[in-house]
Amino acid sequence: MIRRSRKLFKIMGFTIFLILLLLYQNINVQAEEEMKNVLIINSYHQGFAWTREQTEGIMNQLQQEGFNYSFYVEYMDWKNYNSEENLDYLTDYYRYKYNKKRIDIIVTTDDVALQFALENREKLFSDAPVVFSGVNTEGVKSITNNYSRVTGVVEVVDPTQTLVIAKRINPSIKKIYLLNDNSESGKSTMSIIVNTVSEFDSNLEEASWNDLPFEEIVKRAGELEKDSIILIGTYFRDIDDRLMDQSYVTKVISENSCVPVYHIYDFGLGYGVIGGSLLSGKMQGESAAKMAYRILNGEDPDKIPIAYTDSTRTVFDYNQLLRFDVSPSVLPKDSEIVNKPFSFYETYKTLVLGVVAAFTALITFLSILIFYIRKINKMKINLQENHEELSMLYEELTASDEEIKEQYGEMLRINEKIKLSEEKLANLAYYDPLTGLLNKHSLYERSVLTFAEGRKAALLFIDIDNFKYVNDTLGHAFGDKLIVKISERLTTLLWEGSTLYRLSGDEFILIVDQLDKQEQAEEYASYLLNNFRKDFDSLNSNLHISLSIGIAMSPDHGRDLEQLLKNADIAMYKAKEAGRKSYVVYDQGMNEVLTERIRIEKNLQSAMDNNEFELYYQPQWDIKTNKITGFEALLRWNSPVLGPISPLKFIKVAEDTHFIIPLGTWVLNSACAFLKRLETYGYQDLSISVNISILQLLQSDFLTVIEDALSINQLEAEKLELEITETILMESFDRIISRLKKLRDKKVKIALDDFGKGYSSLNYLKQLPITTMKVDKSFIDYITDSGTDDLVGHIISLGKVMGMCVVAEGVEEQCQLDYLIQHECDKIQGFLFSKPQPEKEILRLLKEKE
């Protein structure tokens, strides 16, 4: 019985042991399943700074994302062992090491590791997806071709910004000495740098030191002229195939060089490189890690596009800046400066400023306190003195009746002065202090009698055209003098029974009493307009001033002043829309137009903040090559409140409210950014056309706005074309032609839009620096009519004789295209080829045309 019990206990114990063992294994399996195995394969050795920074960036970024990772880091050491034997050894070694290990993702750095991983992942690394880092554009194309489940971050070698900085530091640079080794990556980097230098400045001369011994390179570095710089790229082996340490190379060349040494990569910092826009291995690694995380999180790697992310940092070595006497003021804003000596103020800036602010506040408080204490003491003294004076005065008054009479007379004189002051105040209340005309207050009081009885009368609302331009360009003091001159001229033109008021700013009200017919009011308005054709030449400036006049009739258009003012104001705006220098009589239907305008103006202010604007792009086709050569940027507004709004409506409102200035800047920057993205995708030989308003052209900082848009987006000026209309030429022609010539000096192209629709003349065309003539659609529509077909041909011939590129707008039919080909028009734009489309559709169109 006892033996049976013991046997039973043994069986139960063994069973419990098996259950616990299975539970433990299950927990381990779950932990293994939750663990993400990340294999990092580096092309080079562990001590190489570029490799170390990429690896740190990958691991640090992934650890921040939140998965439970197990990292496996391998180094192929290709710079020291670049042979097939090394590849065979690594293949056998990795097969042994990872044969039973599930790899969730492979992250590679540089070319060799990427190629090795793609060729061997199926047999060595669980056929895991691959994310690469540190491979330039040429390497990506040649290595990843025909492979799937691979993506990554391209090492975009673009020394343009470094060249810009070098030119700022030394504008006299004429020659650049380039140092790369003769490896595949070195040759690729060399090719990119040479092309970039040529595009940046064709006058710069580049010289390669690739085929020189290292000792000769060091010697030549010490013999360079001050108009030279050195730019180091990929240099790890010299001409004798000796392995060169980057820090040693950079340090020796810099110590012996008499000119600044620049680098493509940031691992050259601290060894004599002055700085620049440097590629960062850490940033490359972080970007690749973010892609790896997305794949580990379940995304399809084939749906994650290869990234051309900017992985540069603008950084400089303080010691080298001192060595070459470079002021930090010439460096780009927010530049990073390393090796800078300790500064108490810079280190504790917030604390110092806080203490200074507190001390200043305390001093201010004490000063105010002392001021008021002194003021109170002074008031006490004054009160005491006044009390004594009043006491003495009381005694004197009671003592002398004659003195009382004198004081009474003084009071009468004071009273007289008060009356005069009241009369002056009354005059100010009813008359405008600048012009002496009756003011708004007088208008409301006097007009009650005019309109209350329903008598026939006219109210003319007069506004000075483009007066804001006068204030903006010549100043408000000049504007005030001009207002006085205008009011004087209006006063001389008054008819019998008419009264002139200054409403506000550049607005005047003219009330004509006892008019029998509306035609009389119109005749008066024409009389005023005709008498303003004469320029104002008495202010040391010959100015042409015109008026816009709105007319409202009593009682037909209103029986009180408020209604008549409102309706005349509406009519005046219609006169401005009709081209200014005219009058318009109020019509009932104008209310709807005004309401629509007010709604547009109200929603326009918030449209940009809410990202309601969008740019569409219409291609321009070269007739000879049948290829797209550029695009015209066209603004669209889809308001969530008003729905789609025609540009013909909201552009006019934007100009009237001056909102066109920030809106135009947004359009310019967005269009340049679009073209830069196309260049990134490989479409290099394209240009962008942007329409410009007269208000933008007249801004003092307009040239700076253009330069900033080109600089920020790293675009050549000749790839930007500004389109102006013929009507712009009628406003401030001398100032506009000066601005346009400065733009042409910077190689920005100028297009004359809607040619033939406005006020073109050969005199204007000869003076303007126009590069492109755009024939208006109204001519193209009737191109096959017998009466107008020769006209378009003559326009094309005129443009070519004047050395312009001729673009035909609105081409919609094949017969129109045939005609334009026959007459050798340069470019075509219209629905026959493509309507304006958003960026996504433009990219699709470009791919179809490849």
- Residue-wise pLDDT for 640-676, tens only, equals 999 999 998 899 889 888 899 999 999 999 999 999 9
CATH of 440-588 among 3.30.70.270, 1.10.8.60, 3.40.50.800, 3.30.420.40: 3.30.70.270
Q: 312, 279 in Cβ contact below 8 A?
A: yes
Mean pLDDT for 702-723 is: 96
Show Cβ contacts of residue 718 under 8 Å, excluding neighbours closer than 6 positions: 687, 747, 748, 749
731 band by pLDDT with thresholds 50, 70 and 90? low
Dump pLDDT digits (tens) for 110-123: 999 999 999 999 99
CATH topology of domain 2-154: Rossmann fold (3.40.50)
Instruction: Tell me the pLDDT band of 26, cut-offs 50, 70 and 90.
Output: very low
Domain ranges of the chain: 2-154, 440-588, 599-849
Q: Which of 43-57, 307-321, 538-552 has the lowest mean pLDDT?
A: 538-552
Q: Which fold has domain 599-849?
A: TIM Barrel (3.20.20)
pLDDT above 80 for 102? yes
Residue 91 CA to its chain's centroid (Å)? 52
Percent of the chain at pLDDT > 70 equals 88
User: In the structure encoding, which two tokens stand for residue 310, read together?
Assistant: 């900017």
Most confident of 279-293, 438-452, 784-798: 279-293
**Which segment, 22-26, 306-310, 786-790, is predicted with the most confidence on average?**
306-310
Q: Report yes or no: 607 and 613 within 8 Å, Cβ to Cβ.
A: yes
Neighbouring CB atoms inside 10 A of 220's CB total 17
SS3 letters for 653-697? HHHHCCCHHHHHHHHHHHHHHHHHHHHHCCCCCCEEEEECCHHHH
**What pLDDT was estimated at residue 30?**
42
Model confidence at 451: pLDDT above 70: yes
Q: Which residue did the predictor score with more confidence, 728 or 289?
A: 289
User: Which amino acid, one-letter code, is at 583?
Assistant: Y
Name the pLDDT band for 732 (thresholds 50, 70, 90): low
pTM value surpassing 0.85: no
Q: Which residue has the tokens 């025609």?
A: 646
CB 129 within 8 A of CB 292: no
Q: How many Å is the maximal CA-CA distance in the chain? A: 149
3-class secondary structure, 204: coil
Model pLDDT, residue 345: 59
Find all residues with CB under 8 Å of 828, minimum gap 6, and list them. Answer: 620, 621, 623, 807, 808, 811, 817, 820
Q: List Cα–Cα distances, 404 to 400, 410, 510, 597, in angstroms.
A: 7, 10, 55, 70
Residue 428: the pLDDT is 72
Phi/psi at 632 (5° precision): -105, 125
Distance between terminal CA atoms of the chain? 93
Cα(691)–Cα(697) distance, integer angstroms: 11
Section 720-743 average pLDDT: 81
Q: What is the pLDDT of residue 397?
A: 60
Looking at residue 737, its pLDDT comes to: 87
Residue (of 680, 522, 612, 628) closest to 848 by Cα position: 628
Q: If we measure between CA atoms, which residue out of 703, 772, 760, 757 comes closest to residue 733?
A: 760
What are 593's two structure tokens? Answer: 């137009």
Residue 150's φ and ψ, nearest 5 degrees, are -140, 135
- Tell me the average pLDDT across 616-623: 96
Average pLDDT over residues 482-507: 92
Task: Please state, rounded to an integer, the average pLDDT across all residues of the chain.
Answer: 86
Which residues in 105-260 belong to E strands, given as ranges?
A: 105-109, 130-135, 150-154, 175-179, 205-208, 228-232
Picking from 816, 829, 650, the residue whose alpha carbon sits closest to that of residue 753 is: 829
Helix ranges (H only) for 431-475 are 440-452, 467-474
Contact 548, 463 (CB under 8 A): yes
Q: Which long-range contacts (CB under 8 A, 24 or more apart) does 776-783 make?
A: 776/809, 776/810, 777/809, 777/810, 777/830, 780/808, 780/809, 780/810, 780/811, 780/812, 780/816, 780/830, 781/810, 783/815, 783/816, 783/819, 783/820
